[in-house]
Amino acid sequence: MSIVTRPSVGGSLVGGAIALPLNPCVHPTARLVASWTGEPDTAGTVAVVGAGKMGLPLAAQFATHGWHVIAVDVNEAVVAAINEGRSHVAEEPGLGEVVARVHAEGRLRATLDAATAAREADVVVLIVPVMLDAEHRPDYRYMDPAVDSIAPGIHAGSTVIFETTLPIGDTRRRFTPRLAAASGLEPDRDFFVAFSPERLFSGAVMANLATYPKLVGGIGPASTDRAARFYDSVLDAEVVAMSSAEAAEFSKLADTTYRDVNIALATEYARAADLHGIDVQEVIAAANSQPYSHIHQPGIGVGGHCIPVYPYLLLDRAPGLEVVMAARRVNDGQVDAAVAILDPLVGGLVGAPVLVLGLTYRDGVKELAYSRALPLIEALAAAGAEVWAHDPLLSAAEVEALGVRPYRWGEAGPFRAVIIQTGDPAFRGLDPAWFPALAVVYDGRNSLRELALPAGVAYVGVGVQASTRQRASA
């Protein structure tokens, strides 16, 4: 591919979803070298620290381009699976086949020993979580030990790249000094450090790696160049060499915070639509027909590892950003708003049986990270409701472990309210006749707007009106 200083893709979004074409692989067969220095059409050894749902696809991608890959993880079961040629990440299409192939070809192995892996590697890529503590501050409980674990193996010529989303300045000010102190080497001269944000979507990681431009920013020019050359050798997408690690860190925070703010704005539009009896999805579809408008969808809140977390990482280094903080309040406030709406519709939630459909943070992904189902269950229980739940991705035991009663799909139930928390397609098969006492369906993802309801059962969408809901959705 190519290394550029400005992305060549972008421009008009023409509303709605965005689907970019996959870039074909045009790399020649790489020549394996004992010490990789960035020479074109060569490959070396890379250690990927954190072999989870994003790290393992990265490891597999690097191996398909001729690199020898050492996956590093603290989980013995993960290491064992990789060393048997198996993917422990079940929800990623095509990943299992790639892992099996590159392992069989001798280009992928795994270890618990991060220091030895870093010592053997030309490049070390870290992709372990930085989440939030109880005060919404960055939580380094995984990243700090990961950095310390590789530090003894850093050697002259090492390139260390952080893919984990970080607060602005962490690559240079928090982590580079630790590596320099442990190794006794001079950063950007003896070894190289850069930040390159993962820009991946669960369930489409392998496609994303061949699609989205790869952003790279180093702590100095030599680090940027070495990291950009690495990605140019392993990815089929454009590589964007940015001016600094800080600019690259900010780019990921800007991207995800934009989505949080956009969703909050869509939620505010939904409230306005409710006031005037207008279907917000009709309005959004119409507005997005203008190519400068790309309004997202409202809902019962925002979950996942990224969007609820990264605005706080931005705020940690840029406090006082009012729009960013307001968006967080709006999106997190949707759960309490839903509970307040339901209470009078069921004649009071005290003692009312309520069914929550969808517990993961989004449909199709078996992850509970910051799922809005968890505060929703807490709020319903605090209001006195008796809560049941069902998710096609979770077993009855897994549902029960969340403190609610598991509901078996298709069985009769006493529920007064059904709340849709994820837009799983399976929920479209809901039959209101299963629940003779049903008073209301709260459609938190506007995904059941076509569902036929018997007389006397209320429908509440997020900016979708009972009077307009059975019109064609956007």
Judge whether 386 and 417 are in contact, CB under 8 Å. Answer: no
Range of the domain at 220: 3-243
Dist CA 370 CA 349 (whole Å):
24
Domain assignment present for 188: yes
Buried b vs exposed e over 288-297: b needs ≥16 C-beta within 10 Å?
Answer: beeeeebbbb
Dist CA 39 CA 226 (whole Å):
10
Average pLDDT over residues 367-391: 96
Structure tokens at 251: 């780019």
Q: What is the pLDDT of residues 37-67, one digit of tens each?
A: 999 999 999 999 999 999 999 999 999 999 9
Cβ contacts of residue 249 below 8 Å, gap of 6+? Answer: 165, 166, 167, 168, 169, 170, 171, 195, 197, 217
Report the range of poorest mean pLDDT among 12-26, 345-359, 405-419: 12-26
Domain assignment present for 249: no
Domain assignment present for 226: yes
Asked whether the predicted pLDDT for residue 13 surpasses 50, the reply is no
Q: Is the dihedral of CA 243, 245, 247, 252 positive or negative?
A: positive
Judge whether 387 and 354 are in contact, CB under 8 Å. Answer: yes
3-class state of residue 162 by DSSP = strand
Structure tokens at 324: 């960013």
Asked whether the predicted pLDDT for residue 247 surpasses 90, the reply is yes
Asked whether the predicted pLDDT for residue 320 surpasses 80, the reply is yes
**What are the distances in angstroms from CA 431 to CA 338, 410, 413?**
22, 8, 11
Position 92 scores a pLDDT of 85
Domain assignment present for 296: yes
CATH number at residue 116: 3.40.50.720
Position 16 scores a pLDDT of 44
- Local confidence band at 91 (pLDDT 50, 70, 90 cut-offs): confident
Asked whether the predicted pLDDT for residue 474 surpasses 90, the reply is no
Q: Are residues 401 and 424 in the same domain?
A: yes
The one catalytic residue in 25, 53, 214, 252 is 252
Position 256 scores a pLDDT of 96
Position 235 scores a pLDDT of 94
Domain assignment present for 349: yes
The one catalytic residue in 25, 53, 214, 306 is 306
Domain assignment present for 467: no
Q: Are residues 337 and 327 in the same domain?
A: no
Structure tokens at 269: 């539009």
Nearest to 180 by CA among 143, 217, 219: 219
Show the beta-strand stretches assigned E in 358-457.
386-390, 405-406, 417-420, 440-443
Q: Are residues 90 and 140 in the same domain?
A: yes
> Can you say whether residue 115 is alpha, beta or left, with left for phi > 0 and alpha for psi between -120 and 50 degrees?
alpha
Question: Strand pairing partners for 108?
Answer: 69
Q: Are residues 180 and 36 in the same domain?
A: yes
CATH number at residue 276: 1.10.1040.10
3-class state of residue 123 by DSSP = strand
SS3 content of the chain, % helix, strand, coil (to 5): 35, 15, 50
Question: Strand pairing partners for 124?
Answer: 47, 160
Q: What angle do CA 129, 68, 206 make, to 5 degrees?
A: 55
Position 117 scores a pLDDT of 98
Q: Are residues 322 and 383 in the same domain?
A: no
3-class state of residue 267 by DSSP = helix
Position 470 scores a pLDDT of 74
Nearest to 357 by CA among 340, 376, 337: 376
Select the more confidently predicted residue: 102 or 2: 102
- Local confidence band at 209 (pLDDT 50, 70, 90 cut-offs): confident
Q: Are residues 85 and 202 in the same domain?
A: yes
Q: Of the candidates 243, 269, 300, which is a domain's last residue?
A: 243
Q: What is the pLDDT of residues 428-463, one digit of tens each?
A: 999 999 999 999 999 999 999 999 999 999 999 999
Judge whether 66 and 30 are in contact, CB under 8 Å. Answer: yes
Asked whether the predicted pLDDT for residue 138 surpasses 90, the reply is yes
Average pLDDT over residues 409-414: 97
- Local confidence band at 411 (pLDDT 50, 70, 90 cut-offs): very high
- Local confidence band at 22 (pLDDT 50, 70, 90 cut-offs): confident
Cβ contacts of residue 11 below 8 Å, gap of 6+? Answer: none
Asked whether the predicted pLDDT for residue 410 surpasses 60, the reply is yes
Asked whether the predicted pLDDT for residue 182 surpasses 90, the reply is yes
Asked whether the predicted pLDDT for residue 351 surpasses 90, the reply is yes
Residue carrying the six token digits 């199709």: 364
Position 452 scores a pLDDT of 94
Q: Are residues 399 and 302 in the same domain?
A: no
Position 293 scores a pLDDT of 93
Q: Are residues 320 and 355 in the same domain?
A: no
* Mean pLDDT for the chain overall: 94
- The model's pTM is 0.92
DSSP annotation of 300: S
Number of Cβ within 10 Å of residue 319's Cβ equals 9
Dist CA 440 CA 461 (whole Å):
11
Asked whether the predicted pLDDT for residue 473 surpasses 50, the reply is no
Total residue length of the chain: 474
Position 5 scores a pLDDT of 78
Judge whether 153 and 123 are in contact, CB under 8 Å. Answer: no
Domain assignment present for 473: no
Structure tokens at 245: 């690690």
- Is 252 an annotated catalytic residue? yes
Q: Are residues 361 and 320 in the same domain?
A: no
Average pLDDT over residues 283-293: 92
Domain assignment present for 267: yes
The amino acid present at 415, given as its one-letter code, is F
- Is 214 an annotated catalytic residue? no
**Nearest 5°: phi and psi at 177?**
-60, -35
Average pLDDT over residues 9-30: 65
Question: Strand pairing partners for 162?
Answer: 126, 195
Report the range of poorest mean pLDDT among 19-23, 80-84, 364-368, 404-408: 19-23
Asked whether the predicted pLDDT for residue 471 surpasses 80, the reply is no
Q: Are residues 228 and 327 in the same domain?
A: no
3-class state of residue 260 by DSSP = helix
Select the more confidently predicted residue: 267 or 17: 267
The amino acid present at 379, given as its one-letter code, is A
Nearest to 441 by CA among 463, 470, 417, 414: 417
Structure tokens at 229: 């050359």
Position 88 scores a pLDDT of 93
Q: Are residues 343 and 277 in the same domain?
A: no
| Total number of domains constituting the chain | 3
Judge whether 216 and 197 are in contact, CB under 8 Å. Answer: no
- Local confidence band at 472 (pLDDT 50, 70, 90 cut-offs): very low
Judge whether 408 and 396 are in contact, CB under 8 Å. Answer: yes
Q: Are residues 235 and 312 in the same domain?
A: no
